[in-house]
Chain A
Amino acid sequence: MDWVQQSLVIGLTEQAPLILAAMGFALIYRLTGLINVAYSETVTLGAYLGMWVNTTFGLNFYVTLIPAGILSGLLSVATYFALFRPAKRRNVGVVELIIISTGLSIFLRYGLQFVFGYTYRYYEVPPPNTIKVLGVGVSSFRLIALGSVLALALILYWFIQKTNFGIRIRALAGDEKLAEVSGINPLAVTVLIWFIAGVAGGLAGAFYGVGSSVKPWLGWEQFLFILLVVLIGGAKNIRGVLLAGLGTGVLLAALTLKLGNALYSQVALIALFIIILALRGDRSAEAGKV
């Protein structure tokens, strides 16, 4: 019983940002069909921007989330206009688009080392208290982070599924021509998608960064898991991503506790997810276009 409780608490609190990051990635992936490798740098930049605002202006961490999120969203929109929109106009193929986004990812990952320096950076936050949850000690900070991530994820879910904007976004994803005829402005909606995805990724990055350190490959380390969570859970809708993200966090923690090594649990989880995807076959690929 201890094992189950520990897995639940550790998994949920440590991997909470993964849910947010995966939801942002899923938005772009499901609605525009693009596998954006450079999304990992949106996450990294969110961590760096939050750290920069936090340490430069001495703001409270939760206040820094606002500028960090908005700036990440704007940067995400900027990459769309600078790279992905021209690429789409030139009818670049699916594989080439992944390679282009890989190029952008590498460019940003190494480029930001010139801006923020080569060394690890840290947020300046007061040391957290430890609270017992189900008999497991958790830092108060991680609990608040989990709460904020879940709240943000639910707002995002509500926004996509229930609001007028969300309906437009999904209409555009379903059939661009039809959406256009119905009076939806595709450009405005696409920009909105990139902005929201950027905000989600940037906030996830800020939570990752404040939990440990801020480093250039912070987002890239998470990218494979973001991709796995989206492909496993995102075939149907955004709720699947939420559930897959939660499940991945708990599973990682449970395997780490059992195997005694975090790296082994990653190996096991990657292998397991690839096997699931292989057995499921083409279905996810087709659903990705809808």
Chain B
Amino acid sequence: MNFDWLSAYLIFGLFTVVMVIGLALLLHLQMGLVGIPNFGIVGFWGLGMYVFGVMLVKIDWPWAAPWPFLLSLVAGTVAAGVGGLVVGRAIAHTGTDGVLVGTLGFATIIALLATTERDLTGGAYGMGGLEFPYDTGSIKADEGLWLGLVIVVVAVLLWYVSRVHRSPYGRLLIAIGSNELLARSLGKPTARTKLVMFAVGSAAMGFLGALYGVIVHFLTPLELGIGITLATMVSLVVGGSARVWGAVVGAILVEGFFDIVVQIYLPLPASWYQQAMPVVREIVLGATLMIVLLFRPLGVLGDMRRDRLMRSMHGG
């Protein structure tokens, strides 16, 4: 087979799109179903990435090749999950304002620690040495394989989320999201369900962060800005936060446009990509959030049977 069309830029662009689909699916579970607006996605994602990177690079592992990589991956995922558990516990009994402060504060703490712990993370300069766990001899094949891996991971996630929608567990999540007191009065363990779901979702965000760390090879605190959270949130909102396919459609529209079409195919002057394009991108994303939520709050996919049912029941 001929892979000439698959340039290094395109591999990275596709990787970003698929990763944002994954993050948006997780945010769909947290925000779309249970109603926990996670404003600190980048914190969990970044914690997974940095713990994975530090474990892989800084520890002198006594075991042979695949084990350091796999154990670091597990450590990154677990660390993000523990982070989710701690944050989830802290915001369990607060209102939306508490959720905003807790998740945003967590992301800020992670970004600050990535800068201060110079011995571990290289501080503001950054940290290299994250390599693929295999070597096929060609960089392109290595990166292509890694793209294939993330596609498989996100496809499994998509399958799982669509299963959740049709399961009693999914109905419990939706019940908690729409009326937590009612769900509790029916004997459902709402607090525990929320906490476990939030922690597991955060762990998966950390896992995706670790995968991202491998393809960029070099971690800097610049990755821990608002970019990832914003991209995920805009994608989910554009696609529709209540639907399974909303995350997929939104991420393809938003990230596909900016990371693939604009970055690779639009004939823009090279100097624009230095300073102007990243700024334009954020301006458009911010405007998109406002416009979509004001004029089409359910996203491009629109409403679904459940919403129509709810409206007919409540006469809205």
Contact = CB atoms under 8 A, between A and B. Distances in A.
A270 B109 contact: yes
A1 interface: no
Contact of A90 (B39, B237, B294): B294
A147 to B, nearest CB: 31
B286 to A, nearest CB: 3
Contacts, number: 143
B108 interface: yes
A103 B96 CA distance: 17
A30 B101 CA distance: 16
Given A107-B283, A267-B113, A35 B89 contact: no
A133 interface: no
Contacts of B97: 29, 35, 227, 231, 284-285, 288
Contacts of A58: none
A42 interface: no
Given A104-B286, A105-B286, A106-B226, A96 B293 contact: yes
A172 B67 CA distance: 63
B108 A277 contact: no
Residue from the set A92, A270, A274 with the largest chain B CB neighbour count within 10 Å: A274
Interface residues of B, number: 44
A75 interface: no
Given A95-B31, A95-B35, A99-B233, A278 B94 contact: yes
A118 B275 contact: yes
Contacts of B201: none
B7 interface: no
A284 B93 CA distance: 11
Interface string B1-41: 00000000000000000000000000000010001010100
Interface in B82-120: 89-98, 100-102, 104-106, 108-109, 112-113, 115-116
Interface in B35-58: 35, 37, 39
A98 interface: yes
A96 B233 CA distance: 11
A90 B316 CA distance: 12
B115 A263 contact: yes
Contacts of B101: 224, 227-228, 231, 273-274, 277
B98 A110 contact: no
Given A113-B279, A278-B90, A98 B100 contact: yes
B256 interface: no
Contacts of B275: 118
Nearest to A108: B286
Given A106-B282, A118-B275, A95 B112 contact: no
B237 A99 contact: yes
A271 interface: yes
A274 B100 contact: no
A103 B102 contact: no
A55 interface: no
Residue from the set B90, B98, B280, B288 with the largest chain A CB neighbour count within 10 Å: B98
Given A231-B101, A267-B116, 18 more contacts: A35-B96, A95-B31, A95-B37, A100-B289, A102-B233, A103-B286, A105-B286, A118-B279, A224-B101, A228-B105, A263-B115, A267-B109, A274-B106, A275-B90, A281-B94, A284-B97, A285-B98, A286-B95
16 contacts: A87-B293, A94-B96, A99-B289, A102-B230, A103-B288, A107-B290, A109-B282, A110-B282, A227-B104, A231-B97, A264-B112, A264-B116, A274-B102, A278-B91, A285-B95, A285-B97
Interface of B: 31, 35, 37, 39, 89-98, 100-102, 104-106, 108-109, 112-113, 115-116, 226, 230, 233, 237, 275, 279-280, 282-283, 285-290, 293-294, 297
Interface of A: 29, 35, 83, 86-87, 90, 92, 94-96, 98-100, 102-111, 113-114, 118, 224, 227-228, 231, 261, 263-264, 266-267, 270-271, 273-275, 277-278, 281-282, 284-286, 288
